[in-house]
Amino acid sequence: MDLRRNLNILFDDWWLWEVAGVLLSASCMAAVIVILASFNGKALAKWDFPIQPNSLVSVFMTVAKSALLLPVSQCINQAKWTHFERNPHRLLKLQFFDDASRGPWGALKLIIGMKSSNWIASWGALLTIIALASDPFAQQIIKYPSRSAPSNSTSASYRVTRAFNRTENWTLKEEFSGSVEPATQAAIFTGIYASGVKSSPNCPTSLCQWYDPMITLGVCSSCHDISLSSTNECSTARSTLRVKNGTLFNQYHTKCVLNMTSEHTLNPIQILEEFKWTRNFTEASQDNIQSCRLYWCAYLYNNMSIINNTIHIPSSKTYELLLIYPNQTEGRQSHPGGLFNLTFAIPSSEVDAFPGKLPTFDVDPNMLPALYRKNNFSLVMEDMVRSLTEHIRTSSPGETWIDGTAFAPETYIKVRWEWLSLPLITLTMAIAYLIVSMKESKKHRTILWKSSTLAPFFHGIQGWEKENLNLGYVTQMNEMAETMRGQLRKGDNGELKFVRADSEFELLPLIEREENEMKTKRRGLRMFGRGSEVESAE
């Protein structure tokens, strides 16, 4: 029994319940922070608990708020006794304190009714109102956005080749084909007639990424203008244009002859020269001559990615492969420097894969309009080598698949820490409020009645007639309490009571009246003593 009584004293006659409430609230808040920090940025699929993150946070925040309102409510009630103990006030304010300790509506009434007469009680009422916003703020802490993450169910791949060897059997039928098999010929014409030939990686999602550098064998081109190395003479003879490889352009026109010389190129697959000639009948013709060459090369791709079926290569390089003819059936060359230890193999038969004879306009009449409409021979060559490289990359026996990363949409947990600020501020203010309330009660030596409803029954009121207190309705009691002023102090019998302090006692507290009465009695006794002395003298 003694242990139980001692515990009751600690809980009821001290602040143990309030301290426990603050500790419980702080523990719940700490648990929320640990949970949020542990799963912030992680995929929602990794959440293994049966309850959703928002719901779990809401549970902890609700417990934290409820535990926090306990000390706030008790401190408001304790401020009530301190308020009436220090000075006399209208008894209706007792109801203000009780209502404020029960909820936000009463807290608002106390702030409006008390104004600045009791800042401690107003502080607690403000905390009660602020606590209302804790639940909406808790719901905003966690957000579930979507991001691209590596997929566990699928992967990306890109095909590269380090060797080119024809395996298709075919028969030469067309002069233009030379030694080019139909598949390669189709790639050439695709580059000439089509634009923007695209690669075709294996990317099953909308985003794929290859982080490692990739090298593949291909064909490159380079073009430059050689118009400055040509001469244009006008006469009545026919035009004669002769290039280095012996190709002769013959066309009759009036008074113009063009002569030009090509530049030397080392080990090209083929040298192509374009002669674009425009004229009118009033000025000399304008000649535009470009020399382009095709050559074997290695393509280096860094950080290649595919976004919505569009290839993005932020960094790419090409390395020209010099073709040599050793005493063996194949020509080989290794990339120098040792950065990429790869060897590209090209059979000798492929060195002359393109004919040494440039096709004339009479062979394929559809080619000239296609070249002329594009109006840029360099772009034609770029499309051609892109198509040829794609053909070599996808049809060679020496192909290799380079694995990449396929990204798929993933829902993840994102913590918005700013929404946790209000609950943390409320907790901090409540802890400070409890400490201040404890100090104020100790300073004024106010007995710790807190929210006890039994205290008024045991101590009662003094100074009012019982006939005036025989009221049955709440409205009547409120109206009477509005006119009654009292102060919590010791009454006539030395017990704590709400002693009347209105009308003639309004400006004179009970203890001062008692002191004045004692002074009056002393004066009377003195005067009575002087009167006795006068009578004796007579």
User: Is 263 a residue whose pLDDT tops 50?
Assistant: no
- Lowest mean pLDDT: which of 16-20, 141-145, 337-341, 447-451? 337-341
**Are 379 and 192 contacting, i.e. CB atoms less than 8 angstroms apart?**
no
Q: Residue 257 burial (CB < 10 Å; 0-12/13-18/19+)?
A: middle
Whole-angstrom Cα distance, residue 488 to residue 499?
6
- Lowest mean pLDDT: which of 82-86, 145-149, 154-158, 213-217? 82-86
Whole-angstrom Cα distance, residue 462 to residue 476?
19
- Pairing mode of beta strands 248-251, 146-150: unpaired
Per-residue model confidence (pLDDT) at position 399: 72
User: Is 514 a residue whose pLDDT tops 70?
Assistant: no
User: Is 300 a residue whose pLDDT tops 70?
Assistant: yes
pLDDT digits (tens, 9 = 90+) for 435-485: 999 898 888 787 777 777 777 777 777 777 777 777 778 887 877 777 788
Measured on CA atoms in the order 110, 115, 119, 124, is the torsion positive or negative?
positive
What is the DSSP code (8-state) at residue 194? Answer: S
Helix, strand, or coil here: 185?
Answer: helix
pLDDT digits (tens, 9 = 90+) for 375-419: 677 788 888 888 888 888 887 766 788 899 999 999 999 999 999
Whole-angstrom Cα distance, residue 234 to residue 239?
9
- Lowest mean pLDDT: which of 143-147, 199-203, 351-355? 351-355
Per-residue model confidence (pLDDT) at position 429: 94
What is the DSSP code (8-state) at residue 295? Answer: E
Whole-angstrom Cα distance, residue 217 to residue 350?
13
Using N-to-C axis directions, what is the helix angle for 119-130 and 104-114, rounded to 10°? Answer: 150
**Beta strands per DSSP E along 348-494:** 399-411, 414-415, 461-462, 485-490
Q: In Å, how far are 342, 391, 407 from 204, measured between CA atoms? A: 29, 22, 9
Q: Facing residues of 208 across strands?
A: 306, 406
Q: Stretch 183-204: mean pLDDT, rounded?
A: 76
Per-residue model confidence (pLDDT) at position 141: 93
**Are 303 and 315 contacting, i.e. CB atoms less than 8 angstroms apart?**
yes
Backbone angles phi, psi at 375, to 5 degrees: 65, 15
Q: Stretch 277-281: mean pLDDT, rounded?
A: 50
pLDDT digits (tens, 9 = 90+) for 219-237: 888 887 776 555 555 554 4
**Are 230 and 287 contacting, i.e. CB atoms less than 8 angstroms apart?**
yes
Residue in the structure block whose two tokens are 């000239």: 368
Q: Stretch 295-321: mean pLDDT, rounded?
A: 86
User: Is 70 a residue whose pLDDT tops 60?
Assistant: yes
Whole-angstrom Cα distance, residue 370 to residue 191?
11
Per-residue model confidence (pLDDT) at position 257: 40
Percent of the chain exceeding pLDDT 70 equals 63
Whole-angstrom Cα distance, residue 449 to residue 80?
10
Which residue from 82, 125, 78 is spatially nearest to 106, judged by alpha carbons? 125
User: Is 168 a residue whose pLDDT tops 90?
Assistant: no
Q: Facing residues of 142 across strands?
A: 415
Q: In Å, how far are 98, 176, 353, 483 from 489, measured between CA atoms? A: 20, 121, 116, 19
Helix, strand, or coil here: 311?
Answer: strand
pLDDT digits (tens, 9 = 90+) for 328-356: 444 444 444 333 334 555 554 444 444 33
Burial of 488-499, coded b for 16+ CB within 10 Å and e otherwise, reads: bbebeeeebbbb
**Are 196 and 382 contacting, i.e. CB atoms less than 8 angstroms apart?**
no
pTM, entire model? 0.60
Helix, strand, or coil here: 233?
Answer: strand
Which residue from 227, 226, 192, 533 is spatially nearest to 385, judged by alpha carbons? 192
Per-residue model confidence (pLDDT) at position 356: 36
Q: Stretch 189-202: mean pLDDT, rounded?
A: 74
Whole-angstrom Cα distance, residue 271 to residue 296?
13
Helix, strand, or coil here: 478?
Answer: helix
Which residue from 64, 67, 131, 128 is spatially nearest to 98, judged by alpha carbons? 128
Percent of the chain exceeding pLDDT 90 equals 19
What is the DSSP code (8-state) at residue 136? Answer: H
